[in-house]
Structure 1
């Protein structure tokens, strides 16, 4: 910059009010203008102290206004935390602005102990003794929580390997129920009756004749109602003929798919849901919370937050809990407890609230405000969000763990029904499960005796039975096992259903055509297995199907597998394959828009829906065991109908 430019800049600065002065200094005697350019430490210190004092005073005022809380829960828009409003009803649907109420389903979750006398042979002696049985009657979980977040992925082939019958050496238990209860242990010895023994008469011929005459006259020649005592009818009753007590026809609907009226809500993703439950008997709060989706770490946070409000002995019986669940981005498949409120069982609505904890934005459970008041129902209920409904597979896991069943037992239950039920379908609100086990002792573990599933109004029952060769399996009332001779989803992991059987718009040709099978999407290279035992009848490329395999099974059944990326080594036309044997790998060959398995089933040359067609059972109980099996069914049904023991060991919620 030359001298002319410098002078021009100086003139511009002066014209705007700036002046060329000396630097600031802390010494008042320096500078050309004394007392004009110095700084005062006293003034600076006073300004800083004034600012700090203001901040402390404002912080103290805010602390007092927030009632001493230094951490807060998530924003009230997410948790619906607000001052309680008792004078007006609260909207049931927490997720959308709509006049439609979210459906509410009553939940049942009973774990009871029943006692019965059993007959058992020990060292050649017949002994009658009392034995406890564990009975579970529960509504299948309609919300998937962290309780079942770590369950193994659904894999039909792995389940196939768990359906093998057991041996009596593995399940050495006694289930022969004796009709009369006994005290202690009774040994029974049988001996031949003496040849000359004649039992004394208890009813004379005259008394018997008078009784029969009175019964006949009262029944046919009197207007009075029929007496209570009468001869049992030998003809089958209406119930035996298949008529339900209410007059409707009974039985299980076959080849029927139950679907909601609209699928919009099911595809909207996870939403919030709320659960109302009652603590049935005194016990630690942590046990109840774990059964309702809290992790152990979350339980520790809740107990720490409520340490001064909850007694050390636990919650007394009758206490009501209200738990709000919602999704997290880190766990989209599981709902976590957003908020948990504790209420007294009686009293005025404004006085029943004990405490509320809510999940904060940093993952901690802190004290929250009481939510809007709602009347607690007499029974335990849960709001149903269609987007939250888990699969049947996940629901059975959730329900089993909620009732402290071990993982091996839960896997066995799933394996029993895996061939008869599409485990990837969503559970319906109100579906139930019944389980009967022998009671665990110091020497033996609990063993499964009976499982009943009620899905969409269709009840399926399986009873444990042992044959003379020592093989133990579970059979339905018709004497058939739950295992089918064909697997409906014959690939690792079961795949994801992308297209069902039936007419559709072809994804490539955009015309309406019959889709002759089901498309199960999976990664390229996923193993494909034979759906059942049979002989390979086709093993090469086919137009549209790409690499294709067809297997001929017994009784006119055929299965086909299309779009394979490659075949398994060592197979060809005429090869014998067994159920679960590797035959190829998922691909996208032929007319395909992505990697998947196209799976077909034919019966006598006719195409059928692989997911809903009724398939024959793989194993049937021999006729010679029918009477003994009927007796087993009657005994187990009697145990399921008995009143629980005076002391109930657990009552889950």
Structure 2
């Protein structure tokens, strides 16, 4: 570059604002203009720190978002470190309408031991001995915790296997409860009375008449002589009309909630207040209230130096706050647990509080805002937390130490009458009676179950017939097993459309929906709802691939929109209840993969989910009297006072 070109470039640079100046410096006194060429380390450091902070905040926000959480500091919010202690009553008014207070429902969780004398045959001898029974009376769990996180997926067909009669049992309790308590063990032997034996008269006619006169009553005269009149114990016919409302079980009625808000609610926080009435190992109490084994270990280590020297007393109060671990989960975890002294105990009521930290550890926390403990155990009601009936029974059963086989049988008893995928209602209850460790086998024998849902009570009693087969029957002598399965596909599907008039999703006109739509993934197995013969097995306009099965007594079922049929079946093939006959698809006029399921009775379409279906098994009339006796015996056991239980003193 020559001198002329160099001058031209310099002129162009000056015209654009560039100039020849001293180099940048960290000394503010250098340069022609003070401060003009200074390089500030403070400014540079601030700029770099601002960038790093922005990167960290953005990274934390992305991490929380990818984890599905709604907050990054759950444990801090649970601790309420900055919240002042304010005495406030616990909201127990279920009718109050407020956005600040959640309704609270009383909970019951009683596992009691009762004793009764039973007759048993031992080596050909009839023995009368005291038999312990376990009685459980509890409200169904309103939250799903780690107790039921690993339960098997709901499958109506798999439940069929859980309703089969029992053929091998350790104790036949039917008609074995002895009417009088005995001390120890009594052997009973029977022999014929001599033919000339005449019992000694112990009560004379005169003493009987004197006894009747002595118990009181109204006297009146008959044929000139005094007589006694007594009021009948039973109510008169005129009084029956004043006895109150007669209740019953609604049949052929579809019950739906007023709103579907609960189904769309996400999991939220809830709080449980309970009393530990019989304190055994503290870890067992935590396990029954949603703590995992690992969490119990962390809590016990955290509380090691906070528990009083004498150990935890019986009657202590627990206050547990639950919340979701992530938005994608369906279980709640304990965020915080506070332990309080029993009512009336001297000293400070608060013993200790632990809370879940951000890294999944339980650490010591501050006492939360004080509330007055209710007399009974209660739990907040959050519609987003209400589990399905299926999961709630699992949660409640495991909380009361029922084995999984017993829980599955209980679910199988009610699965034909109840939609197990529906959410429970706060206040629903379950009652169970078991023979404690029957026969020394280490497993309890289930004797009685009652389930109360939305005010309707259903009961089943254990009964053994002469052939040694044991099954469970309702008070009318019918088993829970139904003639047809109402949701005949693997997993039961998700109810998308009910029976009745609706706006057609394709044609947008009001038409009768002739069945129910149960959504499931393409390829999900479809089962025969009951025993029958296939009468239709091909494509039909609108239904796509369709199967029709003829059952006895004028019943017929139909299955539409199948993706494919099962090889080897066709018109005339006999199928058994629970046999795979096809697979879910979206053929025909369909907006997505689902099973369209119909039930017809004598050619008339009915609602598959609410129609009353005949029972599959009914107790023979010859057992009616003995079965009534069994019902009376079990009812008497359910009403007995619990036996005294000795609890070992808790240690550190």
TM-score tier, shorter chain, comes to 0.7 to 0.9
Query: Residues 270 and 387 of structure 1 are in contact (CA less than 8 Å); yes or no, is this contact kept in structure 2?
Result: yes
State the shift of 1:268 in Å: 2.1
Q: Determine the structure 2 residue equivalent to 1:430.
A: 427
User: Which of 384, 388, 393 is matched with 2:385 structurally?
Assistant: 388
| Structural mapping, 1:440-519, within 5 Å | 440=437, 442-519=440-517
Q: Determine the structure 2 residue equivalent to 1:373.
A: 370
State the shift of 1:142 in Å: 0.6
Deviating more after overlay: 404-413 vs 297-306: 297-306
State the shift of 1:263 in Å: 2.6
How far apart, CA to CA, are the structure 1 residues paired with 2:573 and 2:283? Answer: 57
Q: Determine the structure 2 residue equivalent to 1:83.
A: 83
Cα shift readout 1:341-369 (whole Å, capped 9, x = no counterpart):
11223469994222222222222222222
State the shift of 1:262 in Å: 2.9
Query: Residues 89 and 372 of structure 2 are in contact (CA less than 8 Å); yes or no, is this contact kept in structure 1?
Result: no
Q: Determine the structure 1 residue equivalent to 2:194.
A: 194
State the shift of 1:122 in Å: 1.7
1:550–1:219 CA distance, 2 compared to 1 (3 A): farther
Matched position secondary structure for 2:529:
coil
Query: Residues 560 and 600 of structure 1 are in contact (CA less than 8 Å); yes or no, is this contact kept in structure 2?
Result: yes
Normalised to the residue count of structure 1, the TM-score between the two structures is: 0.83
Query: Residues 557 and 600 of structure 2 are in contact (CA less than 8 Å); yes or no, is this contact kept in structure 1?
Result: yes
Matched position secondary structure for 1:301:
helix
Q: Determine the structure 2 residue equivalent to 1:170.
A: 169
Q: Determine the structure 2 residue equivalent to 1:63.
A: none
State the shift of 1:303 in Å: 1.7
User: Which of 609, 617, 627 is matched with 2:615 structurally?
Assistant: 617
1:385–1:220 CA distance, 2 compared to 1 (3 A): farther
Query: Residues 149 and 331 of structure 2 are in contact (CA less than 8 Å); yes or no, is this contact kept in structure 1?
Result: yes
How far apart, CA to CA, are the structure 1 residues paired with 2:209 and 2:527? Answer: 72
State the shift of 1:276 in Å: 0.5
Matched position secondary structure for 1:602:
strand
1:557–1:312 CA distance, 2 compared to 1 (3 A): farther
Cα shift readout 1:432-486 (whole Å, capped 9, x = no counterpart):
1111111116444211111111111111111111111111111111110000010
How far apart, CA to CA, are the structure 1 residues paired with 2:307 and 2:105? Answer: 29
State the shift of 1:272 in Å: 1.2
How far apart, CA to CA, are the structure 1 residues paired with 2:310 and 2:345? Answer: 25
Q: Determine the structure 2 residue equivalent to 1:560.
A: 558
Query: Residues 75 and 335 of structure 2 are in contact (CA less than 8 Å); yes or no, is this contact kept in structure 1?
Result: no
Q: Determine the structure 2 residue equivalent to 1:147.
A: 147
Q: Determine the structure 2 residue equivalent to 1:111.
A: 111
Query: Residues 277 and 380 of structure 1 are in contact (CA less than 8 Å); yes or no, is this contact kept in structure 2?
Result: yes
Cα shift readout 1:147-173 (whole Å, capped 9, x = no counterpart):
100000000011112211111x33444
Q: Determine the structure 2 residue equivalent to 1:582.
A: 580
State the shift of 1:525 in Å: 0.9
How far apart, CA to CA, are the structure 1 residues paired with 2:536 and 2:343? Answer: 72
Q: Determine the structure 1 residue equivalent to 2:304.
A: 307
User: Which of 310, 314, 317 is matched with 2:314 structurally?
Assistant: 317
How far apart, CA to CA, are the structure 2 residues paired with 1:490 and 1:21? Answer: 81
Matched position secondary structure for 1:537:
strand
State the shift of 1:87 in Å: 4.4
When the two chains are superposed, the root-mean-square deviation of aligned CA atoms in Å is 3.5
Asked whether 1:294 is paired with 2:291, we answer yes
Q: Determine the structure 1 residue equivalent to 2:633.
A: 635
Structure 1 gaps, min length 5:
25-43, 45-71, 222-227
How far apart, CA to CA, are the structure 1 residues paired with 2:289 and 2:522? Answer: 38
Q: How many residues align?
A: 593
How far apart, CA to CA, are the structure 1 residues paired with 2:264 and 2:531? Answer: 38
Normalised to the residue count of structure 2, the TM-score between the two structures is: 0.83
| Structural mapping, 1:510-529, within 5 Å | 510-529=508-527
| Structural mapping, 1:209-220, within 5 Å | 209-212=209-212, 218=218
| Structural mapping, 1:226-305, within 5 Å | 247-305=244-302
1:92–1:634 CA distance, 2 compared to 1 (3 A): closer
Query: Residues 217 and 230 of structure 2 are in contact (CA less than 8 Å); yes or no, is this contact kept in structure 1?
Result: no
How far apart, CA to CA, are the structure 2 residues paired with 1:121 and 1:231? Answer: 44
Deviating more after overlay: 201-210 vs 177-186: 201-210
Query: Residues 90 and 373 of structure 1 are in contact (CA less than 8 Å); yes or no, is this contact kept in structure 2?
Result: no
Cα shift readout 1:302-325 (whole Å, capped 9, x = no counterpart):
222222112487531121111111
Q: Determine the structure 2 residue equivalent to 1:185.
A: 185
Query: Residues 527 and 586 of structure 1 are in contact (CA less than 8 Å); yes or no, is this contact kept in structure 2?
Result: yes
How far apart, CA to CA, are the structure 1 residues paired with 2:334 and 2:25? Answer: 67
State the shift of 1:260 in Å: 3.7
State the shift of 1:209 in Å: 3.4
Q: Determine the structure 2 residue equivalent to 1:400.
A: 397
Matched position secondary structure for 1:161:
helix
Asked whether 1:362 is paired with 2:359, we answer yes
Matched position secondary structure for 1:519:
strand
Structure 2 gaps, min length 5:
28-40, 42-71, 222-227
Asked whether 1:571 is paired with 2:574, we answer no
Matched position secondary structure for 1:254:
coil
How far apart, CA to CA, are the structure 2 residues paired with 1:90 and 1:177? Answer: 45
Q: Determine the structure 2 residue equivalent to 1:35.
A: none
State the shift of 1:75 in Å: 6.1
How far apart, CA to CA, are the structure 2 residues paired with 1:271 and 1:22? Answer: 59
How far apart, CA to CA, are the structure 1 residues paired with 2:237 and 2:370? Answer: 49
How far apart, CA to CA, are the structure 2 residues paired with 1:238 and 1:383? Answer: 45
Matched position secondary structure for 1:387:
coil
Query: Residues 479 and 618 of structure 2 are in contact (CA less than 8 Å); yes or no, is this contact kept in structure 1?
Result: yes
Query: Residues 83 and 369 of structure 1 are in contact (CA less than 8 Å); yes or no, is this contact kept in structure 2?
Result: no
Q: Determine the structure 2 residue equivalent to 1:69.
A: none
State the shift of 1:382 in Å: 0.5
How far apart, CA to CA, are the structure 2 residues paired with 1:556 and 1:220? Answer: 64
How far apart, CA to CA, are the structure 1 residues paired with 2:111 and 2:241? Answer: 28
1:258–1:356 CA distance, 2 compared to 1 (3 A): farther
Q: Determine the structure 2 residue equivalent to 1:530.
A: 528
Deviating more after overlay: 100-109 vs 380-389: 100-109
State the shift of 1:258 in Å: 4.1
1:613–1:649 CA distance, 2 compared to 1 (3 A): farther
How far apart, CA to CA, are the structure 2 residues paired with 1:191 and 1:23? Answer: 119
